[in-house]
Amino acid sequence: MTVADELEAARAALVMINPAPYNAEAPPAGLTTDVTPTELHYVRSNFAVPDHDGTLEIGGAVGKPTTLTLEDLRAMPAYDRTVTLECAGNGRLEMRPLPTGEPWGDFAVSTARWTGALLHDVLAKVQPAVDGVELLATGADHGPYHLQAVLPETDQDDLTFTRALPLAQATDPDSGILIAYEMNGRPLGGDHGAPFRLIVPHWYAVASVKWLRRLDVLTEPYTGEFQTGHYIYEWPDRPHEPVTLMRVRARITDPRPGSVLTRDVCTVRGKAWSGTGPVTKVEVSLTGEGDWQPAQLEPAAPGDFGWQDWRFTWDGIGVGRHTLRARATDAAGNVQPDVPPWNRLGYGNNAIEVIYVDRH
């Protein structure tokens, strides 16, 4: 198979929203299992899938600059992590007024089992400088960025995908960050960052740089387009903030919105996740206000960074139209809002989902 044929086959089951660069949502089935099958995992890329020479250069403010190959990474202790990735632009389509940016519905979120070397172990080899503050990750992808750039100094003819993390987080073994070379037990595919990528649990997925080419320890905070231009909450009424941890959110996966129920009992099912602490509570409401009823929530497994399953037995369903809402709370006490937190670029919509179903 040619590279183009492989990409076409890998994309067949997704809901395409932009052919070039290729961006696609998961189909609804992608949210129904603990791990999303690879062919149903959403794809978000700012540029075309790049060529990659198979090496990772690590430099900047380090004692021992190093170049690693895929074989070198595979020779290190391997870690498996089940991680939910959500695009910060997920849910943008529901914001009013409509923000600029890719028109994501609610399916730019998926969960995979990633295998790779621990970023902490890789950085230990290069000896980051004591005055290092951030770790800059550079992807192999680049291309024109006309009309989209927020920062005036951005090279709009040929921009490269670069994004920095706090160095303290990058070197912390407990943050769980991987340089992943396998997704669901198979080598990474072209759309998901082959041959290796960062996987940063709990953060909106922009931090999980694909097609990783370079890591550089910086002694000053990074200010590139994807750090301080895009992926910034531009609040209308308060200072701008960077997009970091995923906001708490629940999705209803069953019944599907608008479906017709023919019985008076139904198991409502869904998923819930949060970057700011394990989800501790999911509640369901069958009316427009009040009366939140507890759903059964799968407990968060320690060391697991994937979404949690929830279910609710709904019985005595009368004939007619019914509304359903699901609301998640996390261990830090964050609760989903009714109204999406509007910001100019349309990030971080974690508003409570509202669906309706008809009972015939």
325 interacts with, out of ligand MTE, Mo ion, none, CB within 5 to 8 A per kind: none
- CA dist 145 and 46 (Å) reads 9
Binding segment (CB under 6 A) for ligand MTE, from list 98-106, 207-215, 329-337, 346-354: 207-215
Supply the minimum distance, in Å, between the C-beta of residue 106 and ligand MTE.
14
**Which one of 92-100, 145-153, 206-214, 236-244 is the stretch in contact with ligand MTE (CB under 6 A)?**
206-214
Between 41 and 251, CB nearer to ligand MTE: 41
Give the residue, chosen from 87, 194, 252, 345, that forms a contact with Mo ion under the rule CB under 5 A: 87
Nearest to 199 by CA among 178, 217, 216: 178
Shortest CB 227 distance to Mo ion, Å: 14
Buried b (16+ CB within 10 A) or exposed e, 227-239: bbbbbbbeeeeee
How many chain residues interact with Mo ion (CB under 5 A)? 3
Smallest distance, Å, CB 231 to Mo ion?
8
Distance CA 8, CA 73 (A): 28
Contact stretch for ligand MTE (CB under 6 A) within 38-46, 216-224, 237-245, 348-356: 38-46
Q: Closest Cα to residue 287, out of 316, 233, 324, 253?
A: 324
Q: Which is nearer to Mo ion, 200 or 206 (CB)?
A: 206
Taking the complex as a whole, the smallest distance from the CB of residue 208 to ligand MTE amounts, in Å, to: 5
For Mo ion, the closer CB: 116 or 346: 346
Considering only 10, 17, 24, 44, the residue that binds Mo ion (CB under 5 A) is 44
Of 193-232, binders to Mo ion (CB under 5 A) are 206
Site string for ligand MTE, 157-186 (x = CB under 6 A): ----x-------------------------
Query: 72 Cβ partners below 8 Å, 6+ apart?
Result: none
Shortest reach from residue 88's CB to Mo ion, in Å: 5
Q: Which residues contact 339 (CB under 8 A, 6 or more apart)?
A: 351
Note whether 183 and 192 are within 8 A (CB).
yes
325 Cβ neighbours under 8 A, 6+ residues apart: 284, 285, 352, 353, 354, 355
Contacts of 147 (CB under 8 A, 6+ apart): none
Which residue's beta carbon is nearest to the bound ligand MTE? 139
Sign of CA dihedral 311, 86, 277, 180: positive
Considering the rule CB under 6 A, would residue 87 count as an interface residue with ligand MTE? yes
**Does 43 participate in binding ligand MTE (rule CB under 6 A)?**
yes
| Edge-first strand listing for the sheet containing 279-285 | 260-261, 353-359, 320-330, 279-285, 293-294
- C-alpha span between 56 and 271 (Å, rounded): 35
Rounded (10°) CA dihedral 174, 52, 221, 240: -90
In the complex, which residues of this chain contact Mo ion (CB under 5 A)? 44, 87, 206
In the complex, which residues of this chain contact ligand MTE (CB under 6 A)? 41-46, 85, 87, 139, 141, 161, 191-192, 205-206, 208-211
